[in-house]
C-alpha cells in the first residue's frame, strides 16, 4: 500500500488507507481505525510536511453562477499534463468555492508571466496552482499565471512525490530525496489552506 507521501494531491476514496498514526496526524476528512488513518470522504489527499497532518479536501456542489470559471475568475486546479509549451489543468476551485465537477484549463507558456522556454520549469503534473481565467474558447478556460499571487501553491517532487519546500532563492527542494526543482511560484507557496 503506497503511503500518503506517494499519493500527495491524488484522488482518494472513502475507506482508503492513507497511513498510520505513528507516521502522520489525522486531519479533516480522515478517521482512525486500529491505528490506521483512512479517508472518510472522497477527495484529494494533502499531506502537510511541516506538521505531518493528512487531510482529504473535497469538491462540493457549486451554488450559482459564481461557480463557473469565466474571464477574470481566480481558479485553483491540479496540473494534469505538461508539455514543452503548455500545461493542462483540472480546475476544481473558483475563488474559495470547491466545485463538484472539473473544468479544463489550458496554460500556454506565453501566459506564464515569466520568460521561460520550458513549461516543466513552470509547473508539472500533480502540482496545484492558482491562475486567472483570461478567456473561454470551446469550453476550455485559457489561464494566466502573470502576477505575484498566481502560480504553483503546492508542488510535488518528480522523483519521489513528496511535497517540495521553497528555499530563500525560490528554488524548491525535496527534503525526502534532495532533488531540486523549479516552478513559477505563487507568493504564498506552501502556506495555502484549501
Q: Which stretch binds Zn ion (CB under 5 A): 9-17, 98-106, 129-137, 177-185?
A: 177-185
Nearest distance in Å: CB 6, Zn ion:
11
Nearest to 13, CA basis, from 2, 35, 29, 33: 29
Q: Is 179 in the site for Zn ion (CB under 5 A)?
A: yes
Distance of CA 159 to CAs 4, 55, 170, Å? 15, 23, 19
Position among 177, 180, 191, 192 found at the interface with Zn ion (CB under 5 A): 177
Q: Which stretch binds Zn ion (CB under 5 A): 56-64, 113-121, 174-182, 184-192?
A: 174-182
Instruction: Report the alpha-carbon distance of residue 56 to residue 129 in Å, rounded.
Output: 17
Nearest distance in Å: CB 8, Zn ion:
11
Three cell numbers, residue 174: 525535496
Nearest distance in Å: CB 96, Zn ion:
30
Contact 49, 163 (CB under 8 A): yes
Residues contacting 84, CB < 8 A, separation 6+: 109, 118, 119, 120
Classify residue 82 as exposed, middle or buried by CB count within 10 Å of its CB (0-12, 13-18, 19+): buried
C-alpha torsion sign, points 50, 53, 59, 63: negative
Q: Is 3 in the site for Zn ion (CB under 5 A)?
A: no
- Residue 79: count other Cβ atoms within 10 Å of its Cβ: 25
Nearest distance in Å: CB 185, Zn ion:
17
Nearest distance in Å: CB 181, Zn ion:
9
Q: Which is nearer to Zn ion, 3 or 40 (CB)?
A: 3
**Of residues 56-85, which lie at the interface with Zn ion (CB under 5 A)?**
none
**Of residues 111-170, which lie at the interface with Zn ion (CB under 5 A)?**
157, 159-160, 162
Using CB under 5 A, count the residues that bind Zn ion: 8
Nearest distance in Å: CB 158, Zn ion:
8
Q: Which is nearer to Zn ion, 110 or 159 (CB)?
A: 159
Classify residue 17 as exposed, middle or buried by CB count within 10 Å of its CB (0-12, 13-18, 19+): middle
Q: Which residues form the interface with Zn ion (CB under 5 A)?
A: 157, 159-160, 162, 174, 176-177, 179
Amino acid at each position: 500500500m503506497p503511503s500518503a507521501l506517494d499519493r500527495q494531491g491524488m484522488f482518494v476514496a472513502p475507506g482508503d488507507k492513507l497511513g498510520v498514526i505513528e507516521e502522520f496526524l489525522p486531519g479533516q476528512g480522515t478517521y482512525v481505525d486500529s491505528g490506521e488513518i483512512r479517508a472518510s470522504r472522497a477527495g484529494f489527499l494533502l499531506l502537510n510536511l511541516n506538521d505531518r497532518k493528512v487531510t482529504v479536501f473535497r469538491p462540493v456542489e457549486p451554488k450559482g453562477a459564481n461557480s463557473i470559471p469565466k474571464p477574470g475568475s481566480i481558479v485553483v486546479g491540479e496540473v494534469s499534463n505538461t508539455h514543452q509549451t503548455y500545461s493542462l489543468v483540472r480546475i476544481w476551485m473558483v475563488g474559495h468555492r470547491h466545485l463538484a465537477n472539473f473544468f479544463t484549463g489550458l496554460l500556454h507558456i506565453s501566459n506564464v508571466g515569466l520568460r521561460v522556454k520550458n513549461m516543466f520549469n513552470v509547473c508539472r503534473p500533480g502540482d496545484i496552482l492558482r491562475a486567472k481565467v483570461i478567456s473561454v474558447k470551446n469550453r476550455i478556460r485559457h489561464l494566466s499565471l502573470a502576477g505575484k499571487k498566481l502560480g504553483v501553491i503546492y508542488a510535488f517532487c518528480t522523483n519521489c512525490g513528496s511535497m517540495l519546500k521553497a528555499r530563500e532563492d525560490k528554488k524548491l527542494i525535496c527534503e525526502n530525496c534532495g532533488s531540486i526543482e523549479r516552478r513559477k511560484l505563487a507568493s504564498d507557496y506552501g502556506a495555502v489552506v484549501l
